[in-house]
Amino acid sequence: MTDLAAPGGKARLFVETALHEGARVIPGAQQSHYLLHVMRARIGDGVSLFNGRDGEWLARIAEASRRDCALMCECRTREQEPDCDLWLVFAPIKKAPVDYLAQKATELGVSVLQPVFTRRTVVHRVNSERLRANAIEAAEQSGRLTVPEIREPVELARLQSEWPHERHLLFCDEAGGLPILDALAGAPPTPWAVLTGPEGGFDEAERAAIREHRSTVAVSLGQRILRADTAALAALAIWQARFGRVSAV
């Protein structure tokens, strides 16, 4: 009876089922394949489970066939804890960078991924399932207790008209703004969203409308031209360094 070693520790799976002592959990087809054929799990092996609500649980493989398995929850290993309240609002970019963006943004603690269509956005379809799959995998590997919510894409104008005013919008403006750490220095810690544009940037009318919006804090990420996904990740990392809770150890 061993604990399955994944890179960084025991196998760790996100499931939808409620988790409590004695709960029986049936992993999805891909998760079962991963446990049985990648990790070569056997009956009695330990797996970590989380569902975004009930903390993290040690479960053991109770039944296994060639294709399926069932897990039994044994004990809670971590209490559920409040997450960062940090959205990423981003203009969709091509497939490989958006996979990467979903993965990295999840590692960097975003709670919501909100695609937004702008005038220069050249990607007009967002595969939400694919974004979610990337986010789940990153959450499993990063030790998060939640998976970010993937929202349906909206037009920029609608996003702005329906924006919850108390949420600060950290606008990474290619045309300049306060240096980001100066802008965050005196700012309240919550709630926030990071907004990044498409590969060609926002157009002038969009920029003006964003800058005029009362929730906007326009910032500069420096003098180099960053790709859209780099700008998003840089802003999230800097926000976390300023406001994120830091481990005690």
> Within positions 47 to 106, which residues make up the interface with its own copies, using CB under 8 A?
100, 103-104
Write the CB contacts of 60 (distance below 8 Å, at least 6 apart in sequence).
1, 43, 44, 45, 46, 47, 71, 72, 74
Contact stretch for its own copies (CB under 8 A) within 27-35, 59-67, 177-185, 206-214:
177-185
* Options 82, 125, 161, 247; binder of its own copies; rule CB under 8 A: 247
CB 138 → its own copies: shortest distance, Å?
A: 8
Query: Using CB under 8 A as the criterion, what x/- string covers residues 131-160 for binding its own copies?
Result: ----------xxxx----------------
Can residue 111 be called a binding residue for its own copies (CB under 8 A)? Answer: no
Burial status of residue 2 (CB atoms within 10 A of its CB: 0-12, 13-18, 19 or more): exposed
Structure tokens at 78: 């971590």
Q: Which two tokens stand for residue 224?
A: 């180099």
Does residue 181 bind its own copies (CB under 8 A)?
yes
208 contributes a contact to its own copies by CB under 8 A:
no
Task: Report if residue 179 touches its own copies, rule: CB under 8 A.
Answer: yes
Shortest spacing between CB 163 and its own copies, in angstroms: 25
Angle of the 128-142 helix axis to the 95-107 helix axis, nearest 10: 40
Cβ-based nearer residue to its own copies, 64 or 108: 108
Size of the site for its own copies (CB under 8 A): 42
Distance CA 221, CA 80 (A): 34
| By CB under 8 A, residue 38 contacts its own copies | no
**Closest among 222, 211, 215, 231 to 179, alpha carbons compared:** 222
Q: Work out the angle between the directed axes of helices 95-107 and 228-243 (0-180°, nearest 10).
A: 0
Amino acid identity at 83: D
Determine if 222 is a binding residue for its own copies (CB under 8 A).
yes
- Eight-class DSSP state of 163: -
Q: How far apart are CA 101 and CA 92, in angstroms?
A: 10
Part in contact with its own copies (CB under 8 A); list of ranges 30-38, 159-167, 204-212, 235-243: 235-243
Judged by CB under 8 A, the residue of 27, 46, 92, 109 near its own copies is 109
164 contributes a contact to its own copies by CB under 8 A: no
Beta bridge partners, 59, equal 47, 73
User: Which residues form the interface with its own copies (CB under 8 A)?
Assistant: 7-8, 100, 103-104, 107-109, 141-144, 175-176, 179-181, 199-200, 220-227, 230, 233-235, 237-238, 240-242, 244-249
